[in-house]
Amino acid sequence: MANSMARFPETEDEIIINCPRCDSNHVLVSLNQRGYYEVKECHDCGYRKIFE
């Protein structure tokens, strides 16, 4: 599994996105409508975000 890293728009900075439940960085992320990254699913603990 790959670590989830994201780049801020218009920069070269990388950030690591962790699961809110277990703090693992083996997660799938999505970009919400406001431009923020959200954890969609964690591969370690099974956390899943329910999107509306």
Q: How many CB atoms lie within 10 A of CB 42?
A: 22
- Work out the percent of the chain whose per-residue pLDDT is above 70: 71
Structure tokens of 23?
């703090």
pLDDT at 1: 41
Residue-wise pLDDT tens digits, 19-32: 999 999 999 998 88
Structure tokens of 49?
């975000």
pLDDT at 32: 82
Number of H helices, E strands in the chain: 0, 4
Is pLDDT of 6 > 50? yes
